[in-house]
Amino acid sequence: MVGGSARRSTCGYPRGRYGFRWSRLSSEADDLTQPRLAKLARLRDLGIEPYPSRFERTHSAADAVARFAELGGHTLRLAGRITSRRVMGKASFCHIQDGSGRVQLYLRQDGVGPEAYERFRDLIDLGDLLGAEGKLFQTRAGEITLDVSRFDLLAKALRPLPEKWHGLTDVEKRYRQRYLDLTVNEDVRRVFRLRSAIIGAIRCFLDRRGFVEVETPVLQALYGGAAARPFITHYNALDRDFYLRISLELYLKRLIVGGYDRVYELGRVFRNEGLSTEHNPEFTLLETYEAYADYHDVLAMVEEMIPWVAETALGTTTIEWQGRPIDLRPPWHRVTLRQAILDHAGLDVDAFPDQASLYEQVASLGLPIVPGTPRGKIIDELLSRFVEPKLVEPTFVLDYPVELSPLAKRKPERPDLVERFEGFVGGIEIANAFSELNDPLDQRQRFLQQAQDRAAGDEEAQPTDEAFLLALEHGMPPTGGLGIGIDRLVMVLTNQPSIREVILFPQLRSRD
RNA sequence: GGGCCGUUAGCUCAGUUGGCAGAGCACCUGACUUUUAAUCAGGGUGUCGCAGGUUCGAGCCCUGCACGGCCUACCA
């Protein structure tokens, strides 16, 4: 495999030792990696470093193509992964793909010289990273192409790309080897670019409104702010268990106490629950808190923010969701939770003010509910079962039972309800907001109730957070708070029915 | 947790009644200086997810397990 030259390779590897690299591959080398290893060795023998440090690009692929009128005839330096290759004797075409798109290269023996041409033809493979310099021109077929005068291998690929026509469709492989998915599936690249644009637009929207972005602890001695079971970890230096946060709420409110008027955090939270097309154990949550505002102010902000983000990131306020258009422009529908359940389940929850009567009524409707389910949870069940799937048009559902919302302020005229709304689009909950409870005595009572629920077997009831109560006792201004599940928002805005399609590396069972 | 479906070459997939493991792309050899799913000639490269069982014989039938998908249940 190696020629007779006594020349040493530039990187100092002695000749003839490359076989040992077999054992260092991430898994068994096969008949497709073996020839690539041999080519790698030959390149080193030719004095070519297959993994050089850098390459100076003048343009991106998309740039070169888009600005042909201006760049045609000029010398450009482009770089990317070889995604197609057509060798025709003494001339070859290939496409290279970078982060912006792809562009065709044309290599002629006359253009790059016989030695370099032979090197391209014999030692460069589909999947290799290549840098090329040449003049931009248009082929007979009209494709904008770089007429290459010289090229450099930037990284040798030892493994082949997925098939060029059908691409990579195996769902498990797409998630486990997302880099391959991104390399060959343009739609996947598009969705994740949109995700980035959506998050960027959210930041821009909030920053312009005077919100300050902050960061709060992920590792917490006590968790709270949502109804969920936490992940538990161990802090060796303190020799005690810690929790991964399940929400951002309790720390952000401390900052409102501290005098910030408007704060937000965009961060990862962790909930110890099952996997599904709508649940990933770690997900990205946005929470905002605005002093001297209530949930009506927050509602107005959401109603403005979502269409603005869509317009900014997607270029439109009309999205497509599972085959039907949805107009995100305000005003969104508004309905109380009571009315929504009445509309879609034909049941007036206010007519059944205690657990026993509501349970009896719901059971008689044939809805399977575990006996003893608290009244609030029954209402919640009615919401998710009968109402949520119907809320395709952007809709705010207002005024939730106090039992479901231990951190929200009661409605003055209805102390059994809280000033809370959830926003739905496409049948998916994307926003949850309330007037924050700032009465420290009421808050302590709510925690006590949570402790009782917990004692009664509710594993998701929140533990009492004395440090948080201490902060409230120092006085928190009236505050409007908001939570938006970013992954679900991205699902809706990019028309993806599974959360795994908007998370680069979704949780999968480990494969040992 | 339950049900259904799936796992075959690097990728996308066929595989008949239980009887020699297949195709396209990729890859390898050769030809070809404007191709673009390049073309032409030749070449099959495999732990049929794993472990058992039935059988003269298992990719195919049976049992268990792993991983994935969908549905369902539980869960915010």
Over residues A199-231, the pLDDT tens digits come to 999 999 999 999 999 999 999 999 999 989 899
Q: Which residue has the tokens 């391209």?
A: A120
Helix/strand number for chain A, H first, E second:
16, 19
What is the distance in angstroms between the CA of the first residue and the CA of the last residue of chain A?
Answer: 35
Q: Report the distance from CA of residue A71 to the C1' of nucleotide B9 in Å, as an integer.
A: 44
CA–CA separation, A338 and A432 (whole Å): 17
Q: Which nucleotides of B are covered by protein (CB under 7 A)?
A: 10-13, 24-28, 31-39, 45-46, 66-76
Residue that wins the pLDDT comparison between A12 and A123: A123
Q: Report the distance from CA of residue A55 to the C1' of nucleotide B73 in Å, as an integer.
A: 55
A182-191 confidence digits (pLDDT tens):
999 999 999 9
Q: Is the CB of A30 under 7 A from strand B?
A: yes
Helix (H, G, I), strand (E, B) or coil at A272: coil
Q: Is the CB of A458 under 7 A from strand B?
A: yes
Q: Are the beta carbons of A102 and A95 closer than 8 angstroms? A: yes
CA–CA separation, A299 and A295 (whole Å): 6
- Residue A16 — very low, low, confident or very high, per pLDDT cuts 50/70/90? very low
Query: Residue A68, exposed/middle/buried by CB under 10 A (0-12, 13-18, 19+)?
Result: middle
Does the structure show a pLDDT above 60 at A346? yes
**Lookup: tokens for A56:** 């100076």
Q: Is the CB of A418 under 7 A from strand B?
A: no
CA–CA separation, A265 and A493 (whole Å): 21
- Residue A30 — very low, low, confident or very high, per pLDDT cuts 50/70/90? low
Supply the angle between the helices A375-382 and A337-345 in degrees, to the nearest 10.
Answer: 60
- Residue A282 — very low, low, confident or very high, per pLDDT cuts 50/70/90? very high
CA–CA separation, A80 and A92 (whole Å): 17
Q: Are the beta carbons of A91 and A109 closer than 8 angstroms? A: yes
Give which of A495, A482, A70, A59 is closest to A294, Cα–Cα: A482
In this prediction the ipTM stands at: 0.90
Q: Provide the H-helix boundaries in A456-502.
A: 466-473, 486-494
Q: Report the distance from CA of residue A274 to the C1' of nucleotide B4 in Å, as an integer.
A: 20
A422-449 confidence digits (pLDDT tens):
999 999 999 999 999 999 999 999 999 9
Task: Give the mean model confidence (pLDDT) for residues A356-377.
Answer: 82
Q: Is the CB of A93 under 7 A from strand B?
A: yes
Strand intervals (E) in A175-296? 212-213, 219-220, 232-235, 240-244, 262-270, 282-291
Mean pLDDT of chain A: 90
Residue that wins the pLDDT comparison between A396 and A176: A396
Residues 358-387 of A with CB under 7 A from strand B: 368, 370, 377, 380, 383-384
Q: Is the CB of A278 under 7 A from strand B?
A: no
Q: Are the beta carbons of A397 and A335 closer than 8 angstroms? A: yes
CA–CA separation, A444 and A257 (whole Å): 17
Does the structure show a pLDDT above 80 at A28? no
- What's the Cα-to-Cα distance from A233 to each of A42, A220, A238, A241, A282, rounded to whole Å? 50, 10, 12, 6, 15
Task: Give the mean model confidence (pLDDT) for residues A108-129.
Answer: 95
Q: Is the CB of A431 under 7 A from strand B?
A: no
Residue A458's pLDDT is 84
Q: Is the CB of A75 under 7 A from strand B?
A: no
Residue A364's pLDDT is 78
CA–CA separation, A503 and A512 (whole Å): 22
User: In what helix (H) or strand (E) does residue A410 lie, and over which residues does it extend?
Assistant: strand A410-411
What are φ and ψ of residue A142, in 5° steps? 100, 5
**Lookup: tokens for A298:** 């927050």
Q: Report the distance from CA of residue A510 to the C1' of nucleotide B51 in Å, as an integer.
A: 20
pTM of the shown model: 0.91
- What's the Cα-to-Cα distance from A225 to each of A209, A221, A314, A432, A502, rounded to whole Å? 25, 14, 32, 12, 25
Q: Are the beta carbons of A119 and A113 closer than 8 angstroms? A: no
Supply the angle between the helices A375-382 and A355-364 in degrees, to the nearest 10.
Answer: 30
Residue A511's pLDDT is 66
Does the structure show a pLDDT above 80 at A9? no
CA–CA separation, A173 and A508 (whole Å): 11
Q: Are the beta carbons of A146 and A78 closer than 8 angstroms? A: yes
Helix (H, G, I), strand (E, B) or coil at A91: strand
CA–CA separation, A496 and A325 (whole Å): 14
Beta strands A333-336 and A410-411, pairing class: unpaired
A455-481 confidence digits (pLDDT tens):
888 888 899 999 999 999 999 999 999
Residues 155-194 of A with CB under 7 A from strand B: 159-173, 175
Does the structure show a pLDDT above 80 at A148? yes
